[in-house]
Amino acid sequence: MSLIPDDVIEQVREAADIVGIIGEHVELKRTGSDFRAPCPFHGGTHRNFAVIPRKGMYYCFVCHAGGDVFTFFMKKLGMDYPAAVREVARRVGITIPERGPTGGGPDPREPLYSAVATAADWFARQLRESPEAQLARDYLTTRRLDLETVQPLGLGYAPKSKALLDAMKGLGVRDEVLLEAGLLAKREDGTLAPRFRGRLLFPIHDLRGRVVGFGGRILGEGEPKYLNSPDTPIFHKGKLLYNLHVAKHAMRKAERAILVEGYFDVLRLSLAGIEEVVAPLGTGLTPEQAQLVKRHAPHVLLLYDSDEPGLRATFRAGDELLREGLRVSVATLPAGEDPDTLVQKKGAAGLEEILKDAVDVLERKIQILDRKGFFGTLPGRRRALDRLLPTIRAAKDPITRELYISRAAEAAGVRKDVLEREAGMRDAGSGMRPGTPTHPASPISHPALPASAEKALLLLMLEGEPWLSRVTEAVDPEELEFPPYRAVFESVADDAVLALDDTSARAYEQLKAEGLGARDPNEMYELAVNWMEARRLERQLEQLDDQLPFESPERQASLIAEKRRVFDELRKRYPRYKIAKRRRGAPGT
């Protein structure tokens, strides 16, 4: 069997006139921006069948048949997927280049796609019809979403029972396929149980529009609040974006993407007519997701919550997007609002006003630092630059990087050439990610974790409140030099430890296992915070050393006096701190 390249399938889908093609089989009449007709599948007489050209999809509100132009040919004319693509390609005049045979047979993942699609239909039917799903329907009502509105989007309900196993068995889907597709989980005793139970389900699609996994929101008590499908041969949560299969067309047309945090944010904006909206799958934005955005839009608007966790997620996502050479802006929501609630209250027009006032991601950082008074003192300016430098270094576009250096130098009151050298210390302009090694990987796979002030702070954070708040108020995550510790700090602060990569997760587990033991937390906190402050002061000394050779004699005298003051403060804070010979490989040792 020869395979059709994905980019060609996309080209065919975008070129297809779905209204004209479906209109050959049923009489369509315009209703607003959509078209309605009697359903060609269940044979109804009322116009319950909708074709939605802006989304490239159709849906019947009675029999719930839905899909794209390829799915229509498959269901109406009994074609398989490749034949449907070829037929649509023939109609729009696109020649399909064939790839050679891969293994001489069908795609071995096809049973997984089929199993997930079958389960998605079954979950959607439970949401519509199951008495148990009344809880989910009531929950949607509290979110001001009615069932008829969300049905075309494929939402479903996973019962608390094992009904999924019986239903899939009745439909001929084997347990081992369900297990590999991430729909079942194996317990310690070897028995199988549905992975999703008592949850409202959001189907997650690949770029072809195939359902490949689910995100589930718990209804009632339970943890975690949101649960995704595990990684499978067809689902990789770090390589997919929710709603991209629909939003990509609008993103290209609008030449922008709106990135939000949650499934409900996407639903609300989409239903309000703002279609170029996507979301990560419950984790921080990954490099692969940033690359997906880049394929469809040159400009990204970040529309995250404006609280502290939301801002941290905003700037991490912004740096990831800058590494791909994208233009990144931040839209600021009113306090206490998220995109969902704002659109409920003010509609699409109210949100567009917010989007119009969006500012560049670096400028937004500067605004926040200025509001917090960082630029009012010399130590504060040093800390401000520590927060700005990751974004400057992330900028892949050389003009953007040059503008960022100029703006940060102006805001902090430092010479531009000094800041350029500081930014250049870690491969400025290469768009490199933090922690990217510039040397061959060590043959030692898992080095021992450094004993450090950073470690002490993390051990305190893992004790919960009040230590969690005290540490996050005293220390910025950018100050942690050991990358796994920085990742653990951010994930614990954001209550998102499930998003840690393997290396950081191992560090987290070791820290949890160690605990504070008999150590005095107050003493640990004081020593660790003093050490971090000493490191800040050392960086100020380094900056002053860099600046001295380029200044006039009068200015040099002033800088030397400042250097002496900083040095005295450093020795007062931490007398045993060795400035000249501090080991860089073990932060804080």
Higher pLDDT, 415 or 432: 415
Type of residue found at 248: K
Q: Which residue has the tokens 């199951």?
A: 130
Alpha-carbon span 234 to 212, nearest angstrom: 6
**Is 490:543 a contact under the CB 8 Å cutoff?**
no
Q: In the predicted model, what is the mean pLDDT of residues 407-419?
A: 91
Would you state the pLDDT for residue 11?
83
Nearest CA among 174, 275, 296, 155 for reference residue 217? 155
- 230 alpha carbon, distance to own chain's centre: 16
515 backbone φψ class: left, alpha, beta (φ>0; ψ -120 to 50): left
Alpha-carbon span 283 to 497, nearest angstrom: 10
Q: What is the pLDDT of residues 547-578, one digit of tens each?
A: 676 677 777 777 787 777 777 776 766 665 55
For residue 352, give Cα distances in angstroms to 47, 208, 302, 332, 343.
33, 29, 13, 12, 10
Would you state the pLDDT for residue 587?
42
3-state secondary structure of 251: helix
| Share of residues in the chain with pLDDT > 90 (%) | 42
Would you state the pLDDT for residue 431?
57
- Per DSSP, which regions of 220-370 are E strands? 226-228, 257-259, 277-278, 299-302, 327-330, 359-360
Considering Cα of 127, then 132, then 136, then 141, what sign does the dihedral take? Answer: positive
Pick from 30-34, 226-230, 460-464: least confident = 30-34
Higher pLDDT, 539 or 513: 513
Q: Which residue has the tokens 């003493």?
A: 523
- One DSSP character per residue, 111-140 reads HHHHHHHHHHHHHHHHHHH-GGGHHHHHHH
Pick from 50-64, 232-246, 475-489, 570-584: least confident = 570-584
Tokens of 102: 């891969």
- DSSP element (H, E) containing 433: none
Would you state the pLDDT for residue 98?
61
Higher pLDDT, 412 or 516: 412
Q: Check whether 196 has a pLDDT greater than 90.
A: yes
Would you state the pLDDT for residue 339?
94
Would you state the pLDDT for residue 357?
95
CATH topology of domain 244-357: Dna Topoisomerase Vi A Subunit; Chain: A, domain 2 (3.40.1360)
Q: Check whether 142 has a pLDDT greater than 90.
A: yes
For residue 311, give Cα distances in angstroms to 268, 314, 317.
21, 5, 10
CATH for the 6-92 domain, from 3.40.50.10540, 3.30.70.360, 3.90.580.10, 3.40.640.10: 3.90.580.10
Q: Which residues contact 254 (CB under 8 A, 6 or more apart)?
A: 276, 297
Q: In the predicted model, what is the mean pLDDT of residues 68-91?
A: 85
Alpha-carbon span 191 to 84, nearest angstrom: 40
Would you state the pLDDT for residue 574?
63
pLDDT band at 437 (very low <50, low <70, confident <90, very high): very low
**Is 25:114 a contact under the CB 8 Å cutoff?**
no
pLDDT band at 418 (very low <50, low <70, confident <90, very high): confident
Residues forming beta bridges with residue 277, ordered by sequence position: 258
Would you state the pLDDT for residue 408?
95
- The pTM (predicted TM-score) of the whole model is 0.68
* The total number of residues written for the chain in this structure: 589
- One DSSP character per residue, 510-535 reads HHHHH--TT--HHHHHHHHHHHHHHH
CATH topology of domain 110-235: DNA primase DNAg catalytic core, N-terminal domain (3.90.980)
Q: What is the mean pLDDT of the chain?
A: 84
Would you state the pLDDT for residue 328?
97
